Structures are given as C-alpha cells and as structure tokens.
Amino acid sequence: MNPLKKLAVSLAAITFVAAALHSVAATPSSEAAQMVAKSKAVEASGVAVKLVKSADKDAKTETAVAVVTAGLKKHPAALSSILSGVLKAAPESTEAIVNAALDVLPDASITIVRVASEAVPSKSDVILAAATKKVPAKRAVIEREMASIRTRRLVASPAASGPVGAALSGGVVTQTGVGGTPPVQVNAYGGADPGRP
C-alpha cells in the first residue's frame, strides 16, 4: 500500500473516531450541564428548570441528573433552589435526582431530604429510601428529619380542623359543656371568698 493511501485511510479512521467521540460528548444532557455550569448562581435554578422542561420525555431523567450534578458542583450554595426547581419540573425522576444530589453533596443529606420532600411531597418514601441507602451513616438523623417534615405537613394541612387540628396547630381548644351549673372557682386564700364571713 502506498504512503498516500495509508495516510488517507488513517485520516478517515481518525475522522470517524473524532466524530463518534464528539457525538458522545455532545449529548443534550452534557450540553445542558455545561449551560448550567456557565450560568451565575442566581440564574442556575431558572436555567436548570428551563432545560429540564424542554428536554424530550425519554431524556428528561438524564437531563435532570446532569443539570443537578453540574449545578451543585458549580454552585453548592444554590442547593435548595436548583434541587426544588428540577424536582418540580421532573417529579417522575425523583429518585435519580436525589441520588445525583447526594453523590455531589453527601454532607448536605439532611438539607437534600428536606428540600426534596417539600418539593415533591408525594414521593417522600422514595426520597427517604434513596437517602438512607446512599448515606447509611446518617440514617437516624434523616429519618428524624423526615418525621419532622411529615408532622409539619400534617399540622399545616387544611384537613386538620376541629379540636384535634387546633391542638396540633397550637390553637385554642374549646369544650362545650354538657349542661348544669358551671364550675365554681375556688380560692385558697381565706377571706377572699365572697361567700365567707
């Protein structure tokens, strides 16, 4: 084989490999992750939510995970806004998103559980299972936090009405009497009772 043919074959092979690598590197989720990483901390949540909402149904989970990972690596202080926004945009991907957030910030597991369960209350059990599996050392603390969140949700719910709801929410519990004479206040000090001489 002559040298010119070898060069042409090797250039074609290099071009093919480069194109294949470019197509792998330029997936929509990696482009979305780069956009979130390039954004300012204040804008990261809004950019992430727009990217997840605009993603195809098939790629929504992959995009959400990539966006959360990139956003939390670049802007860890924006944890609450990025995580809650993406979870509300893709609630069907809750477990994958929580796992991605716990991979990036395992020390913030309690905050991640709180934010996630407040963003998607219907997936609290999934969030708890994912968090305790990912960070088993903090299992007891995470379970206490989840119990606290569920209690706050119960107290704040409109279904908590009547005496039980008032007792749970710190309101005033009133009781209606059955009838008869009302109880007489007894004073322990002598002479203070108006019925005594």
3-state secondary structure of 6: helix
Q: How far apart are CA 81 and CA 57, in angstroms?
A: 23
Q: pLDDT tens digit string along 29-66? A: 788 888 888 888 888 889 999 999 998 888 899 999 99
Q: Could you tell me which of 82, 24, 97 has the C-alpha nearest to residue 50?
A: 82
The pair of three-digit structure tokens given for residue 29, joined into one six-digit string: 């989720």
In a domain, 47, yes or no: yes
pLDDT of 36 reads 85
The stretch 147-164 carries a mean pLDDT of 71
In a domain, 53, yes or no: yes
> What phi and psi, each to the nearest 5 degrees, are found at residue 90?
-140, 70
In a domain, 168, yes or no: no
pLDDT of 162 reads 57
Number of domains in the chain: 1
pLDDT of 14 reads 63
Q: What is the DSSP letter of 177?
A: -
In a domain, 166, yes or no: no
In a domain, 13, yes or no: no
Q: Which long-range contacts (CB under 8 A, 24 or more apart) does 53-59 make?
A: 53/89, 55/28, 55/29, 56/28, 59/28, 59/29
Residue 124 confidence (pLDDT) above 80: yes
What are the C-alpha distances in Å from 166 to residues 148, 150, 154, 191?
18, 17, 12, 39
pLDDT of 182 reads 62
The pair of three-digit structure tokens given for residue 190, joined into one six-digit string: 């002598």
In a domain, 116, yes or no: yes
Q: pLDDT tens digit string along 94-113? A: 999 999 999 999 999 999 99
What rounded mean pLDDT belongs to the chain? 79
Percentage of the chain beyond pLDDT 70 is: 65
Higher pLDDT, 14 or 108: 108
Give the pTM. 0.66
The stretch 182-197 carries a mean pLDDT of 61
pLDDT of 10 reads 61
Q: How far apart are CA 84 and CA 12, in angstroms?
A: 47
CA dihedral sign of residues 126, 131, 134, 137: negative
- Which alpha helices (H) appear in 55-170, and where do they start and end? 60-74, 79-89, 94-104, 109-119, 124-134, 139-156, 162-169
In a domain, 147, yes or no: yes
* Residue-range definition of the domain harbouring residue 143: 26-160
In a domain, 12, yes or no: no
